[in-house]
Structure 1
Amino acid sequence: MSTRFTIARLGSQGDGIASAEGGEVFVPFTLPGETVTAARQKDRATLISVLEAASLRIDPACRHFTECGGCALQHYEAEAYQQWKREKVVQALKAKGIAGEIAALVPCAPHTRRRVMFSARRTEAGMLLGFVRALSSEIIPIEECPISLPAIVSALDKLRALAGLVCATPKAFHMTVTVTASGLDIAVHDAGKLGDHQRRIASNFVMAEGLARLSVDGEIVVEPKKPMVQFGPVAVAVPPGAFLQATEAAEQTMAGLVGQHLSRARKVADLFAGCGSFALRLGAKSEVHAVEGDAPALAALDRAYRFATGLKRVTSERRDLFRRPLTFKELNAFDGLVFDPPRAGAEDQSKQIARSDVPLIAAVSCNPVTLARDLRILLDGGYTLKSVTPIDQFLWSPHVEAVALLEKPRRRR
C-alpha cells in the first residue's frame, strides 16, 4: 500500500526524510521539498512516484541508478549536492564544538574511480557481475558505470568471463578491479578453492587479455606485469588488495595539502602509511618514518623507496597503531606528522599526539564523525585548527573525505 510523504530534509546516507505517524521515515532517491508516494516498511519506504519534484532534481547519469546500490544522489543538482556533502563535515565538527575554516568541497569528476569492487555469482542463466541492490543480497548486473574509469567499464565483458573461470562456489563472491599503470589488477575473494585446471585456464585468459595480475584470496595466481602505481615521482608495485585512494585526483589533492603543511618539517611521521602515498611524496623534502600494520603494504613502500632516487631517508615500522599507538615520547622525535586511519579513526593515537610536542599535524579522514572526535582530542591537547578541506572522491555517495591541518607551538626542552 502506498503512502503520501513530504520530504523535509536529507539524512546522513542521502535518503530523504519525512515526518509521519510513528516517527521519521527514510525514502531513498528523494529530495527536500518533494511530495512522493512510497511503500512504507517501518521506518523505511520504497519510492513509487514523485508527485511534486524539487527544482534541484535532475536526470540521473546512469541507467542503473536506484537499482544497483552504488550511488545514492545522482538525482541531485551538482552544486546543491556538493554543499550537502560539505555540510556533513561542518555538522560533524559542530557536534564536537569545533569551529574553524572549512573550505569548499573539492569536487569529484565522473569517470575517475580507479578501484571498484564488484559482486559476482553463477546462476543458471550465466555469470552475474555488478553491484548489490541496497539493503539486499540481489546482484544487479551492470552495463555502464559513470563513476568508474573507462578502462574498467570497457572491460566489463572480460571481467564477467574471468569471474566465470574462477568461480568455484554457488555463493556470491567479490572481484576488486584496480586500474594501474600496468593494466587491470584483479583481486578475487570468497570464490572458492581453485583447482589446478581452473588456475591454468584463468592464467591463460589473464595473459591473453593483457591483464596485469589475478590474485585469489590474497594469493597471486598469475602476474604477467607487476601492477604499478605512481605516488608523486615514485613508482610502487602494489600488493594484492592494497589500499588505494579511490581516485588519483583526490589522492593528489590530499597529498598537496599535507605536503604544503609539512614542508617546514625536517623529520615527519606517517601513521597508517599504507603503501606510501604520503610518505614517498614527503620524502622529497623530509626524512620520513612510515608506520603501518599491514606487512605487504609496508614491504611495497620500503621496496619502492629503495629503488627510488632523490629521496631523503624513509624508514618503516610494522606496528598495529590501534593496539600500540606511538607514544608521545616517541612522537616528540618528529616535527611533522600525518595520519590517515580507517573509518574507525585513531582515538588512542590521537590521545598520544595531543600529549606530544609535534608542531605540525595533518589529519586525513574518510569519516567526518571520527575525524571530529579525534580533532576534539587534539584541540583539547593544545593544538589550533588551521583549516579543514572536504574532498569528494566517492561521487554521488554519502561518503566524504577531509584533510584537517593543525599547529601547536613547540615547547622548549
Structure 2
Amino acid sequence: MSQRRHPGSRPAGKPQKAKTALPKAPMTLTVSGLGAQGDGLARHGETPVFIAGALPGETVTVRASGKKGDGLAAELIAVETASAERVEPPCPHYSACGGCSLQHYAPAAEADWKRDILRQTLRARGLDPAVVEPVIRIGAGTRQRATFAWRRLRDRVVLGYNQRASHQITDLQTCLLLEAPLSALLPALRGLVAAVAPVGSMGDLSVTLTDSGADLCLDLPDYPGLEALEQIGLWAEAHAAARIGAQIDGVYHPLLTPRAPLVRFDGASVDLPPQMFLQPSRAGADALLAAVRAALTGTEGPLLDLFCGLGTFALPLAGDGRTVRGFDSESTAIAALSRAAKALKRPLTATVRDLFRDPVEGKELKDVTTVVLDPPRAGADAQCRALAEPAGASVRRVVMVSCSPATFARDARTLCDGGFRLMQVVPVDQFVWSPHLELVARFERG
C-alpha cells in the first residue's frame, strides 16, 4: 500500500511530473504492432496507446480508458480498416472474459507473432535468433486443469474467469480451452459451491482431470460442517471425483479422497499430491517430452533432471534406460516420484533440494555429461551459473525447458558465456489465444 502524503508535499530533490489528462474525444489511430500482452500498439502524438482487440496494420477508433505504464489504455470502439489476419472469435464469452486475449487473431499469425517475440528476446541478449524453429501449436480443447473464480449469491452461483483487468467474473457456460469432460463439469461445479459455500462468500475453485477422476480444491471461509460434508460426499459419488479438498485461510485441508488421483507420464503413473504443479495439457506435456528426447539424441549415460517435479521427464527418460538423478524443492513431489520409480523399478533417484539457494555444482558435476532443466517462471539463474563454471566442464549437453522467454534468454546468456552454444530452440504453444509460450532448448559445450 502506498504511503499517504500531504497534498502539497513531494519528495525533496525530485521534480513533480506534470499530470496528463486523458483525451476525452474518440481517437482514430493506426496500429503498428502488438505488445507483450497481445494488445495492439498505436500512438497518440508521442504517447503509446495499448488497445485490447486491435491488430497490426488496422485503423481503429478508440476511447482512452486509463493510464497504462507510460502510455494509455484504450477501449476499442470500431475497426475502420481490418487486418487480413482478423478472424471471428469462436467463444461466446470472448468480449467479456479475461481468459483469452487473442481469439481474434488467425492461428498462423498468432504463432508467428509468438515466435518473433521469442526471437527478439534472444537477439536482445546477443543470442542467435535463427535457432528458433516454427511453433508447435497445441490446439484448444486440451486443458486438463483450470482455476475458476466464484461468488455465492443468494439465488445463484457465479463461476468463471475474471474479466480483463477486473474483479468481475464472467459467468461461464462453456470454455473452449478445456478438455470436454472438464468443460461439461461447469454446471455441477456451481451446484457444489451452492451446496457448501455460505451466501456472500467468494473464492477460487481449482479442478484437475486425473486418470482416476477430478481433483478439486475449493476456497472456503470455514471448515465445512456435517451437512456440507455430506453434500461433498454425494457430489463426489455422483461425479466420480478422485479427491476434494478445501483451502481455508491459506491452508489446504483434504476433505474426501475416494481414490488416489493418478497422472501418467508416458505410461508411468504417479500419485498427484494436492495443489501440485502439472502441465496444463496432456498433449502439451507429450510435445515437450518429445522435444526433450530429440534434444538428448546422441547422448548416453546418467543424467541430471533439475527442477524435476513429479517426473514429467525423469520417469520417461528412466524408462528409456537412462540412469536419472532428479532434484526439486517440493518434498511431496519428490516423495511421489520416488514411490513411482520404486514401483516401476526404474533407475531413478529423487532428492529434495532448493536449487535456487543450493544449486548442484562443483564436484557434484564431476563425470556428469548431460543435464535436463525445467525451472519455474523465475528461471534457473544460480543453477546455470554453476553449470557455466569451470568445475562443470564435464557437462557437454544441457536441455532446458522454459515457460518464460525472458528468464530463458537471461539463463541462456549465462550458459553461452560459460562455453555453451545455443543450438536449437523449439517453441511449444499450449496456451493458445494468450501471450504465453513454452520452449525446449538444446545447448552444447565445445
> Does TM, normalized by the shorter one, top 0.5?
yes
Q: Distance in 2 between matches of 1:395 and 1:252?
A: 16
- How far apart, in 2, do the equivalents of 1:297 and 1:159 lie? 27
Q: Following the alignment from structure 1 to structure 2, what is the Cα–Cα distance between the partners of residues 88 and 191?
A: 42
- Amino acid aligned to 1:88: I
Q: Is the 8 A contact 1:168 1:194 kept in 2?
A: no
CA deviations on 1:39-79 (whole Å, 9 max, x unpaired) are: 20231011222222111110011011131100010001111
Among candidates 24, 33, 54, match of residue 48 of structure 2: 24
CA distance in 1, matches of 2:116, 2:381: 23
Q: 2:432 aligns with which of 380, 390, 395?
A: 395
Matched residue, 1:118: 148
Q: In the alignment, what sits opposite 1:134?
A: 164
**Aligned residue for 1:288?**
324
Give the structure 1 partner of residue 7 of structure 2: none
Displacement of 1:197 after TM fit?
Answer: 3.0
Counterpart pick for 2:401 among 364, 388, 413 = 364
Correspondence for 2:256 = 222
Residue 248 in 1 paired to residue 285 in 2? no
The 5-angstrom pairing of residues 125-164 of structure 1 reads: 125-164=155-194
**Could you give the per-residue CA deviations for residues 118-148 of structure 1, whole angstroms, max 9, x where no partner exists?**
1111123411110001111111111111111
After the TM superposition, which residues 72-111 of structure 1 pair with which residues of structure 2 at under 5 Å, given as runs? Answer: 72-99=101-128, 100-111=130-141
Further displaced range: 288-297 or 322-331: 322-331
1:71, 1:390 → 2: CA distance? 19
Q: Indicate if the aligned counterparts of 1:102 and 1:390 stay in contact, CA closer than 8 A.
A: yes
Match of residue 187 from structure 1: 217
CA drift of 1:265 comes to: 2.9
What is aligned with 1:404?
441
Contact kept? 1:168, 1:192, Cα under 8 Å? no
Deviation at 1:191?
A: 5.0
Distance 1:77 1:322 in 2: 39
Of 191, 215, 230, which aligns to 1:200?
Answer: 230
- Once residues 200 and 41 of structure 2 are traced to their aligned partners in structure 1, the CA distance between those partners, rounded to angstroms, is 38
- Is the 2:308–2:327 Cα contact (8 Å) retained in structure 1? yes
Q: How big is the shift at 1:394?
A: 0.6
Provide the rounded CA distance (Å) in 1 between the counterparts of 2:368 and 2:245. Answer: 38
Give the match for residue 238 of structure 1.
272
Which stretch shows the higher mean deviation, 232-241 or 209-218? 209-218
CA apart distance, 1:316 = 1.0
Is residue 34–residue 52 contact of structure 1 (8 Å, CA) maintained in 2? yes
Instruction: State the partner residue of 1:302.
Output: 338
Q: Distance in 2 between matches of 1:53 and 1:59?
A: 12
Letter in 2 for 1:386: M
Indicate the RMSD between aligned Cα atoms, in angstroms: 1.6
| Structure possessing the higher relative contact order (Cα contacts under 8 Å, 6 or more residues apart) | 1
Distance 1:193 1:39, change over 3 A: farther
Match of 2:10 in 1: none
CA distance in 1, matches of 2:424, 2:295: 10
The aligned residue for residue 278 of structure 1 is 313
Which residue number in structure 1 is paired with residue 301 of structure 2?
A: 266
TM-score of the superposition, structure 1-length normalised?
0.95
CA distance in 1, matches of 2:199, 2:315: 40
Which residue matches 2:11?
none
Tell me, yes or no, if the aligned pair for 2:152 and 2:198 is still in contact at 8 Å. Answer: no
**What SS does the corresponding residue of 2:423 show, helix, strand or coil?**
strand
Answer with 1 or 2: which has the greater Rg.
2
8 Å contact 2:400–2:442 — kept in the other structure?
A: yes
2:111 maps to a residue whose letter is Q
In structure 1, the residue matched to 2:57 is 33
Of stretches 144-153 and 180-189 in structure 1, the one that deviates more from structure 2 is 180-189
Structure 1 position 163, deviation (Å): 2.2
Tell me which residue corresponds to 2:38.
Answer: 14
Structure 2 alignment gaps of length 5 or more = 1-23
What is the DSSP-based 3-state SS (H/G/I as helix, E as strand, rest coil) of the residue aligned with 1:322? coil
Partner of 1:59, secondary structure, is coil
Is 1:59 matched up with 2:91? no
Post-superposition shift, 1:234? 0.7
Deviation (angstroms), 1:387: 0.4
CA distance in 1, matches of 2:62, 2:362: 54
Deviation at 1:260, TM superposition (A): 3.1
Q: 1:169 to 1:192 in 2, by over 3 A?
A: farther
Task: Provide the secondary structure at the position in 2 that maps to 1:148.
Answer: coil
Q: CA deviation at 1:363?
A: 0.7
> Residue type of the partner of 1:18?
A
Q: Tell me which moved more, 62-71 or 117-126.
A: 117-126
In 2, Cα distance between equivalents of 1:245 and 1:220: 22
Give the residue type in structure 1 aligned to 2:98: G
| CA positional deviation for 1:205 | 1.4
Amino acid of the residue matched to residue 310 of structure 2?
C
* Helix, strand or coil at the partner of 1:317: strand
Kept in 2: contact 1:167–1:192 (CA 8 A): no
Q: Distance in 2 between matches of 1:295 and 1:219?
A: 18
Q: Is the 8 A contact 1:203 1:221 kept in 2?
A: no
Identity level (%): 36
Counterpart in 1 of 2:99? 70
